[in-house]
Amino acid sequence: MFAAADALGSSRTGGVYVDDSGQPVVTVTDEAAARAVRDAGGVARQVTYSAATLQSVHRALDAYAGIPGTSWGVDPSTNQVSVELDSTVGPADTAKLTAVAERFGTAVRVDRIGGKLEKAEVYTSGGDSIRNVYSSLYCSLGFNVQTSSGNKHFVTAGHCATGTQQWYDTASGQYLGNRVRVSWPGNDYAVIDYTQNDVTAYGTVNDDTQQITGSRYPVDGESVMRAGATSNDLVGAVLLTSTTVTYSSGETVTGMIKTSLCVMGGDSGGPLYHGTVALGITSGGTDTDEACSSGVSDRRSYFQPVQEVLTVAGLSVY
């Protein structure tokens, strides 16, 4: 039905919407256009205003953009430009926009809505998916950390960050910050400075369900959990606390924590922890293209000790 609307052009249709039954509806401005839509097997509804007219009204209202708590846009289901004012819009601005709207008659509808219009805030915690600007590289956030003066950073895998300076939150697309430290190979860590002030960085991991309050080096045999963008909430055990690993791609890392956990592609950089204690940053493992499950198995994964990173960089978890 979008093709039928496109064929009519913006002067003979008011746009397309999906009704309460899930049926696409093409709004049209004349009976001939309605017949064309029906002949194409679609549902037509005749309306007063064309898309071109409503878009022109929208552009006129844009001259008044900048009043906090206001929004407007074309609503094809009502064949109007919908203007909404939140609870913070005062009498003077309300009167101004109402007067402008009245110039366009029934082509504009003004509604008051409750609450306060705010930009969506980004929250990050360990295990969240992060990406580069081109969305060609996906890794996981390890732990949110801070300097002694309270400046927020996060740690992730160094092999993720060697070629990536700027990092973004995958879910929202929000820019997070710049890489300020990276070590790979030999070690496998990177530190990213939260240069974007609109991000709330929680001191938690695993979808914000587990608080992290401290950090240390691991203990052989202790039970551990990890989280990541691809797979998480997995339980295993520390097998070795300091391992030298050479990956199939040829890079060697030393001092890695070896565990019975499995990891998958995209989990790199994610957190390894025991209760509220941060232990490591996901580096790699075996069979990363296969699904993960909890428990000790023949799978192996390796983690950069996070305490080493925090000590070198002068950072701490919170």
Q: Of the listed 50, 183, 231, 268, which one is catalytic?
A: 268
Is the Cβ–Cβ distance between 270 and 229 less than 8 Å? yes
Nearest to 19 by CA among 60, 78, 65: 78
* No. of helices (H) and no. of strands (E), the chain: 6, 24
220 carries an active-site annotation: no
Q: Of the listed 50, 125, 153, 159, which one is catalytic?
A: 159
Question: Burial of 124 by CB count in 10 Å (0-12 exposed, 13-18 middle, 19+ buried)?
Answer: buried
149 carries an active-site annotation: no
CA distance linking residue 223 with residue 306, whole number of Å:
17
Q: Of the listed 188, 215, 231, 267, which one is catalytic?
A: 188
Q: What does each C-alpha distance from 114 to 85, 111, 242 come to in angstroms?
A: 8, 10, 57
159 carries an active-site annotation: yes
Strand segments (E) across 158-211: 166-169, 175-183, 189-193, 199-205, 210-211
Local structure of 105: helix, strand or coil = helix
Q: What does each C-alpha distance from 78 to 27, 37, 49, 170, 297 come to in angstroms?
A: 10, 19, 10, 34, 59
Beta bridge partners of 75: 80
Active site members: 159, 188, 268
